[in-house]
Amino acid sequence: MADNSLQIERFIKRVRETDNIVFLGGAGVSTESGIPDFRSAKGLYSSGGPISPEEMLSHHFFIRHTDEFYDFYKKNMLYPDAQPNVTHKALARLEQMGKLKAVITQNIDNLHQAGGSRKVWELHGSVYRNYCMKCGKFFGLDYILKSEGVPVCDSCGGTIKPDVVLYEESLDGGVINGSVNAVMNAKMMIVGGTSLNVYPAAGLINYYEGHDLVLINRDATPYDSYADIVIHDSLGKVFGELMERLESEEK
């Protein structure tokens, strides 16, 4: 494996020369904002409780045990005080510079938008959108946080469901199509903060037809051997250095 510093230099050079980038990110993008990577060795998914997180975050569990679902969901999935980190802000700046055309995220925390990104495809939805299953009325995150027990619609009394993709549910077709088109049209694809083990999100990489595939992740991924540039380091460090260089060149 090439030295990280050499790989980062190559990465910065490619970004400098490219004006059509797409970014695909996973949970690792938000860990530096204090949101845990649930699949890590110390993450929520390895907690070993009587009912697995995958079970509690499934569609059938939400329908059959809505009160238990919300108790778990509110305690473990909501981080309203989290703030955008260096990576979120750098991606937004790249978009402002006309280089980044889209962010595709597996995260549900809205931090890309909070950081300034405008074109964001949320594969798994967002905790900031919630809707009444009876009348369709939408509610923000504050309504969920202030509700006791199961949140219900203030118009019709129906049960409110987070607009996130639970286990057993399908991804939104429009989001998938938009993501695929962004990847297919990109000259450079940057993949960061994801193990690339979760599908169908990981499968998006197969639609990339360019020659600048960049993987940035602390640990190795199944796609490392296919990438043009592989950097095993923190996203904050890599994007911080990238933006410092690009911003200095603009002055």
pLDDT of residue 47: 54
59, 88, 124, 232: the active-site residue: 124
pLDDT greater than 70 at residue 33: yes
Domains along the chain with CATH numbers: 1-34+84-124+171-251 (3.40.50.1220)
Q: Reply yes or no on whether 65 is catalytic.
A: no
Tokens representing 116 are 């300034």
- The answer to pTM > 0.75 is yes
pLDDT of residue 1: 43
Mean pLDDT of the 46-63 span:
84
Residue 38: DSSP 8-state = T
- pLDDT tens track for 231-245: 999 999 999 999 999
CA angle 94, 199, 90 (to 5 degrees): 15
End-to-end C-alpha distance for the chain, whole angstroms: 34
Upper half-sphere CA count for residue 178 (Cβ side, 13 Å): 15
Upper half-sphere CA count for residue 117 (Cβ side, 13 Å): 28
- pLDDT tens track for 189-204: 999 999 888 788 889 9
Mean pLDDT of the 153-182 span:
97
pLDDT of residue 49: 64
Residue 51: DSSP 8-state = S
